[in-house]
Amino acid sequence: MSSRYQTTLQIKDEKGTRRAETTIIPPTAVTGNDLYIRTVSMERLDKLALDFYDDASMWWVIAAANGLGKGTLVVPPNTRVRIPRDTGIQDRISQINKQR
């Protein structure tokens, strides 16, 4: 897996200022390979990504799959968290960005 910004489109406005186009993260398909955990204490999305993907920057995959990460990386205790095993999410983001 790779950075969620890998396929983000770069836009220049009329003044030449660059900004990143909004990246739409598609929902990850539920598969039989997905792992489900329940947090027993406060966890962080980046720590979970490091534990399960060996890459803390992939926190956004877990966040998108669970509707988490809106303003915080903290996952409350006793939360059921799906850890997607889908490796094609970056390809789907690329396809969506190319369609715009």
Q: Considering the domain boundaries, does residue 1 fall inside one?
A: no
Residue 7 CA: distances (Å) to CA of 27, 52, 73, 94, 97? 16, 23, 22, 6, 7
Number of C-beta neighbours around residue 81 at 10 A: 19
Is the residue at 57 inside a domain?
A: yes
17-58 pLDDT, tens per residue?
887 766 656 566 667 788 999 999 999 999 999 999 888 888
High-pLDDT (> 90) share of the chain, %: 28
**39 within 8 A of 79, measured Cβ to Cβ:** yes
> Is the model more confident about 37 or about 7?
37
Task: Classify residue 20: in a domain, yes or no.
Answer: yes
pLDDT score at 41 = 95
Residue 64 lies in a domain: yes
pLDDT of the residue at 67: 87
Say if 3 falls within a structural domain.
no
The two three-digit tokens of residue 34, written as one number: 């997905």
Question: What does the pLDDT read at residue 6?
Answer: 61
Domain limits for position 31: 10-99
